Structure 1
Amino acid sequence: MILFCVGVDRCSVKSKVKPDIPTEPPKYGLGGNQDWIKVNAVKVIKTKANKTGCPKKKRRYVTKKNYGKLPVYLETRIRTAAEIKKRDSPEEQAKCRHDGTRKLDEKERMEMVNNLKLKWAHTNAAYQKLSFVLDTNSKKLRKERFERNLTNIEKDVTLLCRKVVLVSDSAPAKIRQESTGSMH
């Protein structure tokens, strides 16, 4: 139900919302006939000097007791880097020669790394195709197996990314037993 007021025109009725514009200029601060330059000069003369803005005496780093010396943390870093470099030197690696092992060739090592990366990509693609909902035990076990395989492949790649990789010439006893088929 809509009600209309008869005889009242909303546009013709004007209500005063805002006050009228003032005709006289506003009065800021003191009087309008003061000399503001003199007032400001007197105010500045009467105030105390602010010494926080004064420049401080510059530090002379040359006079410090540890000037020109390396910091302790840099000395320790340099020392540890030298120890690592010494440990990875060819002379030290020649000393660590074990019987029945050989150094893996660079070409063979890179081929193994590339093959492992391809295997990781195929495994990861299969892992990504798994359903999001793991409602059965077989899905859970399959997901865990994929994750375990991916972490093992990543560990193998990091192991082969070392500078020197030693490989055993003969297979371990456990693998030899399985290959001959003589299980006890």
Structure 2
Amino acid sequence: MSKIIYPVESIYNLIPREEEKIPKPPRYTSKFRDQVKQEKQLHKASNKTMGPAKVDIPSPEKYLLKRSKEPKLPEKKPFSYGDEGNPKKPQLPAKTDHPPMGIHTKKNFVKTNVMENIMAVPRKPQPTYTDTRHGDKQLLENSGLVSKYIRKKDYGQTPEYLQLRREEVQREQEEYDNYVKDRMKEGAMKQLPEEERQNILQGLKKNWDELHHQFQRLSLVTDTASKKHKKEHLEMKMKQLEKDIDLMERYKVIYIANN
């Protein structure tokens, strides 16, 4: 039901009315409030002093000694070689001892060097070239003046990978030729005559010349949509004709389906 609103100056407003006070809902209180208060009071006064309530008093006998915090070396252990179980090597001979006679323990380097030099093959000097007036030398092999590649065994021969590729191309061409022959026997396709191919090629070139002549007559400024559209249309037709002319000139033999 809608509330009736009376004007300010009305006889119904002469009688004072009591103001209706809207009661507020009760304030929210947690059901754990008392429990939290009790837990807080339990540990509140446990550490009022500086530190815990009970501290172990240090003993007067355990006082800090001088240099007690310095690092200490490990205890010394008697040194051993670790071969106590194995027999020791024989002692070195004394100065007064003489070696046994008739046994040569020393190498005769003079005779050995003489024999090595007699049997040695003389070294061949490496070919060099001088590139400055001061006599600076460089190896001739790295200069590019030595013909190394023509002396190889397979010089002038076709590499193996090219031979394999050539054989693969030839095999694919034979398969294609056989497929074309079979299709021609079935009557599904026929070969385009050379005269007809030339006539088609001339007609394509003539059409391209006409489109090119129209393209040359266009305005240099393409400020309207119609001019721009006409220019793009002519360019698209000329590109298509160029592709067709290239196709007809590249392949001399062309097959046409009878369908």
Q: Normalising to structure 1: TM-score of the pair?
A: 0.50
Alpha-carbon distance between aligned partners in 2 of 1:120 and 1:111, rounded to the nearest angstrom: 14
3-state SS of paired residue (1:102): strand
Q: Deviation of residue 104 (structure 1)?
A: 1.1
Q: Map 1:55-74 onto structure 2 (within 5 A).
A: 61=149, 64=152, 66-67=154-155, 69-71=157-159, 74=162
The number of residues matched between the two structures is 121
Q: Does 1:153 align with 2:241?
A: yes
Task: Measure how far apart 1:158 and its partner are.
Answer: 2.5
Cross-structure match for 2:182: 95
Q: Secondary structure at the match of 2:252?
A: coil
Q: Distance in 2 between matches of 1:147 and 1:104?
A: 29
In structure 2, the residue matched to 1:137 is 225
Query: Partner amino acid for 1:94?
Result: K
Structure 2 unmatched ranges of 5 or more: 1-133
Show structure 1 runs of 5+ residues with no match: 1-48, 171-184
Q: Which has the higher helix share?
A: 1
Q: Deviations over 1:40-62 (max 9, x none)?
A: xxxxxxxxx94616855956557
Name the aligned partner's letter for residue 157 of structure 1.
Answer: I
Taking the aligned partners of 1:62 and 1:168, their CA distance within structure 2 comes to 53
SS in 2 for 1:167: strand
Alignment of structure 1 residues 44-55 onto 2, 5 Å:
50=135, 52=137
Listed one character per residue, the Cα deviations across residues 112-168 of structure 1 (whole Å, up to 9, x for unaligned) are 101111110111111122111110010111011101111111122223232222224
Identical-residue share of aligned pairs (%): 28
2:256 is aligned with 1:167: yes
Secondary structure class of the residue paired with 1:120: helix
- The correspondence of residues 8-27 of structure 1 with structure 2, limited to 5 A, is none
Deviation for aligned residue 1:95: 2.9
Quick one: higher RCO (CA 8 Å, sep 6+), 1 or 2?
1
Please name the residue that 1:109 is paired with: 197
CA 1:130 to 1:72, structure 2 compared with 1: closer, same or farther past 3 Å? farther
Structure 2 length-normalised TM:
0.38
Q: Contact 2:201 / 2:245 at 8 angstroms: preserved in 1?
A: yes
Say which one has the larger Rg: 2
Q: For 1:54 and 1:165, locate their aligned partners in 2 and report how far apart those are by CA, in whole Å.
A: 60
Q: Counterparts of 1:61 and 1:167 in 2: how far apart (Å)?
A: 51
Q: Quick one: which amino acid aligns to residue 207 of structure 2?
A: K
CA distance 1:88–1:122, change in 2 (3 Å): farther
